[in-house]
Structure 1
Amino acid sequence: MKLMRKTRTAVRVVPFIIINRIVSMFIKVKENRVLFASDVRKELGGNLKFVYDYLPESFEKVVDFKEDRRFRRSFMNYLKLAYNMAVSNYILLEDFLDYTAFIRLRKGQQICQLWHGAGAYKKFGYSRQLNENEKIKIHQGYKRYAKAIVSADAIRACYAEAFSMPIEHVQATGIPRTDIFFDNEYIIKTKQTLYQKYPIFKDKKVILFAPTYRGTLVKDAAYDFDSLKLPHLYNALHEDYVFIFKWHPAAYNNIKSSNLEVYNLEAYPDFYFDLSQYRDINDLLLITDILITDYSSVIFDYLLVDKPIIYYVPDLNNYSGDRGMYFNFSEYVYGDVVTNWSDLIDSIHSEKMEPAKRLQFRKKFMDACDGEATKKTCSWIFGIFC
């Protein structure tokens, strides 16, 4: 099995390496060419879209996406990616892209990591090697990053450790996609669009359930669906609330690819809604009245909405010990923590806010997110001021 896996990797990577090296020998790096690359995106979105839209026309912008990391590119698309990575002066990512480990990094080229999540919650990258409970191979491309951005000055060291890079290469610019929380025109327009599509959301309070996935690797991403007591939640809440599911993209891709019937919502057409097809969650946060999550980085973005949050963590002891967190779990909490569905219902009704904890949380994790993150990010990476 291990030999077969190595053989498949070689078949995939060797042509990429050859083309990348040939192109590097004969074609110069294009100074203003920016490659936006992802193995987990179908279309432009997130931090990549905000930077793409902000850059002036003097930049040549190229997009190379693949929807799901488990899907293979066609042979021609492999060659196209090899070419793009060879000639682009800037390579922008928001997740890991394994081909960064195989390119010939040329003079002046910069691989810049815009990372998809704000804050610093679950350990990732080289930080996971420090956890004795995990035996995992770390992506070597991390070490080739020239720059990375974070949402607060206090967590720069976390990302420097994760990417094995000097801390001065990590800048607290804020997270570009959080600029929407400071854009009243965008907020009004987005709410109107969602309310037109789902009129019931306007008449009831919206609960958004957005947990992270369980599993060491993306291919194993899953969730304990049995921990959700759908009939009980419906009976207790359906008169005043609607309940939206937004699964982590990795778990959602696994659900789709394996055709799993994780639950049946047909009996609750006016209460439960699965909107996991929305790749980026921030638009949904704008209409959310109560967020239920756990160890997901959505807690950082949602702080800017200033609405109640509940941490539903029936597996808290196991999860924090196995995966590891950058800080003690209590430092991430600015709402109720519950471990069973009965307490979850009580917490939903109480809609508790924790002003002091919110202020402390913002200072530690989100102080660079001020509505100008895209501008600051582009200034840091490209040296432009628009």
Structure 2
Amino acid sequence: MDVGCNPGYIAKKLSVQHPDLKSVWLLSKNHEGHNGNWINYGGGGFVGKCFALASAKVVVFNTLNSMAGWPKKKGQIWIQTGHGSFGIKKIGLDLGNKRKQKILREAKRTNIFLSNSEFETKVFSSGFRFKPKQIIEIGHARSDVFFDDFLKHSLKKEICKKYGFEGKKLLLFAPTHSDGDVEFIEKINVQEILEALKIRFGGNWVFGMRLHPRTRNKIKRSKRSLSNLTSECVIDLSGHSDMQELLVSSDAMITDYSSGIFDFLLTKRPCFFHLEEQMRENLKGTLYFDFFETPIPTSFNSDALVDNIKKFDEKHFLAEVDAFLDDAGSFEDGRAAEHASDIIHGLTKGVSVARLRLQYKRTKNLEGYASSRPIQKEMTGEKRLSPKETQSVEMHVEVAE
């Protein structure tokens, strides 16, 4: 498993800002290869995982209920980053989750939840019963890439070269997993979609397909060929682990209701909801808001999707995106990994969660942070840790099989 999502981006920033801290990435299986010399792999097997968790000062994780069954040592700090966004799908207790006791147990022992918006703060307060004193609102580390023009350009160039579509525009088709997802994908008319994109936006387009791991497993078990997705203009991106790299490299996006599209909104590029009417019916009672309450054009049949693409109104879309992000109370500003790294560093130096929360407390108009001088003063004058004294910061991510 490659390093990614919010913990991965935090770990990389830690290696730059605070190299005295050792980041260890836990794996469910032994890992061959690595993403760079800034990460250390550990936890290969149950014993390795136990040792890594027992020795860590700070544990960072992004999946819910992944830590509920693990003991927490005295003085250890748990940080939950989440892996959604301004997501439409209800989560946790808001969905009537049967694992209520596990959810409450993990939430109670979690010291910090890093939120990306007022909306997400409310969702996790409701769905997982996080209290205000546990929440620090700094944005999502994985979304910083959308605010770095140089990194965006270099990643797009790298992805285009890697998958062989240099000089062409990329449509990212990234549906989530659901009942009937394979049948839905089989009905996608690739040629009609690409032709509509060419008519509306110009250029030559390729169809980038990134399927959910569970959907891929269904297809593999059923031995379906998906003949509609076998043409030369279709590129299978399902094996690319870092979704953010694909989002930043894409010129447009289509999904049924994957929360990834809300990250994509930060690019301000064209994106579309497309699902079947029956799928919408099945989702009743499981969404925080309706598709039509978003700035994203929505369709429930192929003709309507093509029509939405051809009639895409960029000026109206951009105004709606800005209004949506404003209503959600977005905190995204491209500095989330930097702030998360400093928070972890502060925790290893004995700074309290309460003081850190005060430092990063948002003002009502969301303009910046409170002064960091008191805490910076508290951290000054400390010697650099020797290798033997180095604190361990666990970066824990679990991927659904």
Q: TM-score, normalised by structure 2?
A: 0.72
Distance 2:282 2:4 in 1: 30
- Aligned position for 2:19: 57
Pick from 168, 186, 210: which aligns with 1:246? 210
Q: Is the 8 A contact 1:308 1:352 kept in 2?
A: no
- Aligned position for 2:238: 276
The structure-2 alpha-carbon separation of the partners of 1:65 and 1:299, relative to structure 1 and needing over 3 Å to count, comes to same
Residue deviations 1:4-32 (CA, integer Å, cap 9, x gap): xxxxxxxxxxxxxxxxxxxxxxxxxxxxx
Pick from 285, 301, 304: which aligns with 1:340? 301
- Aligned position for 2:119: 154
Residue deviations 1:263-294 (CA, integer Å, cap 9, x gap): 1367511x111111111222122232221113
TM alignment of 1:46-195, pairs within 5 A = 46-55=5-14, 56-66=18-28, 77-96=45-64, 98=66, 100-129=67-96, 136-138=98-100, 139-140=102-103, 142-143=106-107, 144-195=109-160
Distance 2:57 2:224 in 1: 45
Distance 1:305 1:284 in 2: 12
Q: Is the 8 A contact 2:85 2:120 kept in 1?
A: no
Distance 2:284 2:253 in 1: 24
The structure-2 alpha-carbon separation of the partners of 1:236 and 1:295, relative to structure 1 and needing over 3 Å to count, comes to closer
The structure-2 alpha-carbon separation of the partners of 1:319 and 1:175, relative to structure 1 and needing over 3 Å to count, comes to farther
TM alignment of 1:222-261, pairs within 5 A = 224-230=184-190, 232-233=192-193, 240-256=204-220, 258=221, 260-261=223-224
Pick from 329, 334, 342: which aligns with 2:291? 329
- Aligned position for 2:174: 210
Displacement of 1:81 in angstroms is 1.1
Distance 1:282 1:241 in 2: 20
The reply to whether residue 309 of structure 1 matches residue 271 of structure 2 is yes
The structure-2 alpha-carbon separation of the partners of 1:355 and 1:364, relative to structure 1 and needing over 3 Å to count, comes to same
Q: Is the 8 A contact 2:273 2:299 kept in 1?
A: yes
SS at the partner of 1:291?
strand
Residue deviations 1:39-83 (CA, integer Å, cap 9, x gap): xxx121121121111221221221112379xxxxxx971111122
Q: TM-score, normalised by structure 1?
A: 0.75
SS at the partner of 2:123?
helix
TM alignment of 1:36-47, pairs within 5 A = 42-47=1-6
Distance 2:29 2:127 in 1: 25
Residue deviations 1:334-385 (CA, integer Å, cap 9, x gap): 1311111112122222333313311121113362110111122234444377
Distance 1:175 1:274 in 2: 27
The structure-2 alpha-carbon separation of the partners of 1:366 and 1:306, relative to structure 1 and needing over 3 Å to count, comes to farther
Q: Is the 8 A contact 1:86 1:103 kept in 2?
A: no
Q: Is the 8 A contact 2:291 2:298 kept in 1?
A: no
Distance 1:300 1:45 in 2: 18
Distance 1:266 1:313 in 2: 17
RCO comparison, higher one (Cα < 8 Å, 6+): 2
SS at the partner of 1:321?
coil
How many residue pairs get aligned? The number is: 324
Displacement of 1:113 in angstroms is 1.0
Aligned sequence identity (%): 23
Distance 2:4 2:304 in 1: 36
Q: Is the 8 A contact 1:147 1:381 kept in 2?
A: no
Displacement of 1:222 in angstroms is 5.9
Displacement of 1:318 in angstroms is 1.7
Residue deviations 1:156-200 (CA, integer Å, cap 9, x gap): 121122222213312221000111111122112112212223443
Distance 2:87 2:196 in 1: 34
- Aligned position for 1:23: none
Displacement of 1:299 in angstroms is 2.1
Give the gaps of 5 or more residues in structure 1. 1-41, 69-74, 130-134
- Aligned position for 1:375: 338
Distance 1:272 1:67 in 2: 31
Q: Which moved more, 1:346-355 or 1:274-283?
A: 346-355
Distance 1:202 1:175 in 2: 31
Distance 1:264 1:142 in 2: 44
The structure-2 alpha-carbon separation of the partners of 1:267 and 1:235, relative to structure 1 and needing over 3 Å to count, comes to farther
Distance 2:134 2:218 in 1: 35
- Aligned position for 1:296: 258
